[in-house]
A and B are shown apart, each in its own frame.
Chain A
């Protein structure tokens, strides 16, 4: 290629202005206007921040609710039980893994150092063996002193007469296996969100790619792909899922894979329609005249336009993914038993109607989470609304 020719004009004084200083996030004016539209949507903005705080907190679930301390200083040695498993021999016990909730071990450590506990001393799988009432046990603040009395007398060394103040609290009660509901809630929230985000993210990537290819190339590609999608999406998802999950144990990733098989279809139509429109713009033609490859044109010119529809859809796709997982767990076809999941909490609520705290907690958390996402989705939709942009 005759590259030197392009450079030949470079003699003489320079005309280019210094590069503008760009912040950590460089936004085109359209996106800047969208951001300010989003920020002026009060409810959406608040929902967004509340959601982000909850989400980030739940990412550190191990530091909030755990059955082992964050930090142990024992005989001058600094230990991090949250990151490492220490054999109980270290503290004079005999188990392969230390049970820090064991009163003997706790006393041993307290005598030779100290422990820093997370605010909630249960993990999602910790079974509380010191329940004042049979499981499912109600939230401790709902118990009478009489109910707590015997438990406190049996289990509390420091304050055997303290009643409910003497025992370890379950703020939202326990489920029917004696596991703390609040701890399971925090882990379940994280699991649902991570599952939803991964599913929505991966299916968007696949859906956008498929839609962009169909829309940009059109013609036979479009025709064949569309017919395939029509057949594919008319398969009965739920039955297929039930059949598959009866053959392989559905773990997080197996479930993700199965749901992904069908969920990528949702976005294809939107993206395809946008791309069919965009490919006729003159700047796409100009790019072809400049010799850009099809892939470069799709990424640089066509997709940024299709992203509007996608981003508007994304919170709703996320909601759909979370609901799907919850529904599967509720039906018992979801994650393996013992996993902290919101659907499983609802199922327990259904089978233990005498323990309303189970169902109520699950309902409120799911409703709040989905509402937050819908409010965010509304704000995003408004921010991307071209009529708003033009005003």
Chain B
């Protein structure tokens, strides 16, 4: 069939059943994908993008039966036999998943894992297979592929693991390549490299790519066509250029407009210093041998100085493993550190946990994952009121409820919902609850540890607005930790760029963003704002 498209999905419907209740996850989705093109499925979490991709290759959990048609070269994948499907999966259609840390088997070398795919689909001869594996690893940009054959997944970085996954996916020269958020778990710099690699490989082999993402900037970079999904339906589809130039559907418009915007408030240079740290060090000892001698240190934070003033946000950026989170925890004295920390004019680095307790009401933290940071067993009122009980034991119950209600109101939640439990709230609402928990004590200093990273783009913008608004009203000092430079730009007036526990560059945000001095910073910004991998830049892989 010369005229039939490579992949033709017609009226695909998937419903998950819970008891007698049926929840549609994908609702009548149709699209086509031609050879050599890239279609991006975009939408927020829960919009059914991944379920759509998984149902094309029938990888959904047992008991969930997709309806409709998924024609691959004219053959319906939803009705063909298991054996036929196995022959297609891994050979004609391959997938790469989001999480490179868990998609490789930790007990097998990468040679064995790639070799398995080749063998399953008919390759024979140890020498031949080994040659092919080296060739594939070279193709996906792993340096010294011959040396790396015996490596186990834990010996590779996140980016390298994703490259190995891509090598496995490419092993049998697929016609259709499905990438399910392949770069979401990676650092921005690595993300840019992986995206470049995918584009290049696609051009070389002429395969079609179904690219699933929530990030519109990636879509703009890699895709030819785009389909915007909302609540299981495709609300708008078309060429990338047209959709971005003239979105018709209100949801698409909202998505495109959802970038974190605005500028940090003007900072008074003479404002009171809330917290400062001099030459802060967090070294984790490496112990070896029978007597557990300390043979060296992992220098998570190494000689860092920081000052946060009232009403000011200090942004801390860097790749994963650069020590950003450790810095935040050390400043709050939640992990052991060395070096002077002065909080509200008082040395706190020598204080014991008990002596720290009264100070905790003035220093709070908001975590990255709004699903992990709220106990599922407590109602929202209990969660938010937890700190009140510690800091002011004499507070009557009714007053406590009232304070909680006000904190929820301030963070944009309906106080009437305060007796519900966290699972009834969306990710963005949960993050608001976490912020309310930190705000209810009326602290002066808050560490925001990637508070927007786990959220959808449109929700990110709302949370950023909320944080800025609260800062303006209460004169809060923030330490904003993030790998997402767009969010940092919208909030911070000072930026610290960290790498391997050390400061690469620090200074006022406008200056630093406009004119980065070090190569590393420049490469980081290029990767974040333009999703461009700078050639020759000193980046980790």
| Distance (whole angstroms) from the CB of B438 to the closest CB of chain A | 8
Is residue A129 within 8 Å, beta carbon to beta carbon, of the partner chain? no
Of the residues B364, B378, B401, B409, contact of A289 by C-beta under 8 Å: B364
Give the residues in chain A near B332, CB-CB below 8 Å. 289
Docked-complex contact B423 and A290, CB < 8 angstroms: no
Bound together, the chains give a CA A288 to CA B434 distance in angstroms of 14
For window 125-139 of B, CB contacts with A under 8 Å fall at none
Is residue A10 within 8 Å, beta carbon to beta carbon, of the partner chain? yes
**Which of A15-23, A106-114, A157-165, A343-351 lies at the binding interface?**
A15-23
Is residue B416 within 8 Å, beta carbon to beta carbon, of the partner chain? yes
Docked-complex contact B434 and A286, CB < 8 angstroms: yes
Bound together, the chains give a CA A5 to CA B540 distance in angstroms of 48
| Distance (whole angstroms) from the CB of A122 to the closest CB of chain B | 50
Docked-complex contact B367 and A15, CB < 8 angstroms: no
Docked-complex contact B395 and A290, CB < 8 angstroms: no
| Distance (whole angstroms) from the CB of B379 to the closest CB of chain A | 7
Give the residues in chain A near B361, CB-CB below 8 Å. 291
With A19-B401, A283-B372, A285-B334 known as contacts, the answer to whether A292 contacts B390 (CB < 8 A) is: yes
Give the residues in chain A near B404, CB-CB below 8 Å. 16
Docked-complex contact B415 and A15, CB < 8 angstroms: yes
Bound together, the chains give a CA A16 to CA B408 distance in angstroms of 10
With A1-B358, A290-B360 known as contacts, the answer to whether A15 contacts B406 (CB < 8 A) is: yes
Bound together, the chains give a CA A29 to CA B379 distance in angstroms of 9
Is residue A281 within 8 Å, beta carbon to beta carbon, of the partner chain? yes
Bound together, the chains give a CA A6 to CA B402 distance in angstroms of 11
Is residue A3 within 8 Å, beta carbon to beta carbon, of the partner chain? yes
Give the residues in chain A near B375, CB-CB below 8 Å. 283, 300-301, 304
Is residue A391 within 8 Å, beta carbon to beta carbon, of the partner chain? yes
Is residue B268 within 8 Å, beta carbon to beta carbon, of the partner chain? no
Docked-complex contact B423 and A29, CB < 8 angstroms: yes
Docked-complex contact A1 and B391, CB < 8 angstroms: yes
With A282-B372, A283-B373, A286-B367 known as contacts, the answer to whether A10 contacts B390 (CB < 8 A) is: no
Looking across the interface, which residue of chain A has its beta carbon closest to that of B381?
Answer: A16
Is residue B356 within 8 Å, beta carbon to beta carbon, of the partner chain? yes
Of the residues B369, B386, B421, contact of A287 by C-beta under 8 Å: B386
Of the residues B372, B376, B418, contact of A16 by C-beta under 8 Å: B418
Give the residues in chain A near B363, CB-CB below 8 Å. 289
Bound together, the chains give a CA A5 to CA B421 distance in angstroms of 28
For window 270-292 of A, CB contacts with B under 8 Å fall at 281-283, 285-292
Give the residues in chain B near A20, CB-CB below 8 Å. 419
What 1/0 flags go to A1-36 for Cβ under 8 Å of B?
A: 101011101100011110110000000111000000
Docked-complex contact A28 and B377, CB < 8 angstroms: yes
Is residue B205 within 8 Å, beta carbon to beta carbon, of the partner chain? no
Docked-complex contact B403 and A6, CB < 8 angstroms: yes
Docked-complex contact A291 and B403, CB < 8 angstroms: no
Looking across the interface, which residue of chain A has its beta carbon closest to that of B19?
Answer: A391
Docked-complex contact A1 and B392, CB < 8 angstroms: yes
| Distance (whole angstroms) from the CB of A40 to the closest CB of chain B | 10
Give the residues in chain A near B18, CB-CB below 8 Å. 391
Of the residues B360, B379, B387, B403, contact of A10 by C-beta under 8 Å: B403
Give the residues in chain B near A16, CB-CB below 8 Å. 398, 401-402, 404-405, 415, 418
- Number of residues of chain A lying within 8 A (CB) of chain B: 33
Give the residues in chain A near B437, CB-CB below 8 Å. 286, 290
Docked-complex contact A9 and B405, CB < 8 angstroms: no
Looking across the interface, which residue of chain B has its beta carbon closest to that of A12?
Answer: B406
Give the residues in chain B near A281, CB-CB below 8 Å. 372-373
Docked-complex contact B395 and A282, CB < 8 angstroms: no
Docked-complex contact A15 and B405, CB < 8 angstroms: yes
| Distance (whole angstroms) from the CB of A295 to the closest CB of chain B | 12
Looking across the interface, which residue of chain A has its beta carbon closest to that of B394?
Answer: A3
| Distance (whole angstroms) from the CB of A341 to the closest CB of chain B | 41
Give the residues in chain B near A28, CB-CB below 8 Å. 376-379, 421
Docked-complex contact A289 and B403, CB < 8 angstroms: no
Give the residues in chain B near A30, CB-CB below 8 Å. 376-377, 421
Docked-complex contact A10 and B419, CB < 8 angstroms: no
Give the residues in chain B near A288, CB-CB below 8 Å. 334
Bound together, the chains give a CA A288 to CA B358 distance in angstroms of 12
- Most chain B CB within 10 A, of A6, A16, A296, A300, is at A16
Looking across the interface, which residue of chain B has its beta carbon closest to that of A36?
Answer: B19
Is residue B192 within 8 Å, beta carbon to beta carbon, of the partner chain? no
Bound together, the chains give a CA A286 to CA B334 distance in angstroms of 10
Looking across the interface, which residue of chain A has its beta carbon closest to that of B386?
Answer: A290
Give the residues in chain A near B86, CB-CB below 8 Å. none
For window 410-456 of B, CB contacts with A under 8 Å fall at 415-416, 418-419, 421, 423-424, 434, 437, 441-442
Give the residues in chain B near A301, CB-CB below 8 Å. 375
Give the residues in chain B near A5, CB-CB below 8 Å. 442
Give the residues in chain A near B364, CB-CB below 8 Å. 289-290
Is residue B374 within 8 Å, beta carbon to beta carbon, of the partner chain? yes
Give the residues in chain B near A19, CB-CB below 8 Å. 401, 419
Is residue B399 within 8 Å, beta carbon to beta carbon, of the partner chain? yes
Bound together, the chains give a CA A14 to CA B403 distance in angstroms of 9
Q: List 5 A-B contacts (CB under 8 A).
A: A281-B373, A285-B367, A290-B390, A290-B441, A305-B377
16 new A-B pairs (CB below 8 Å) besides A30-B377, A286-B367, A292-B390? Answer: A9-B406, A10-B399, A15-B406, A15-B415, A17-B416, A28-B421, A282-B367, A285-B367, A287-B386, A289-B360, A290-B391, A290-B437, A291-B361, A300-B386, A301-B375, A305-B377
Question: Interface of A with B (CB < 8 Å)?
Answer: 1, 3, 5-7, 9-10, 14-17, 19-20, 28-30, 281-283, 285-292, 296, 300-301, 304-305, 391
Question: Interface of B with A (CB < 8 Å)?
Answer: 18, 332, 334, 356-358, 360-361, 363-365, 367-369, 372-379, 386-388, 390-392, 394-395, 398-399, 401-406, 409, 415-416, 418-419, 421, 423-424, 434, 437, 441-442
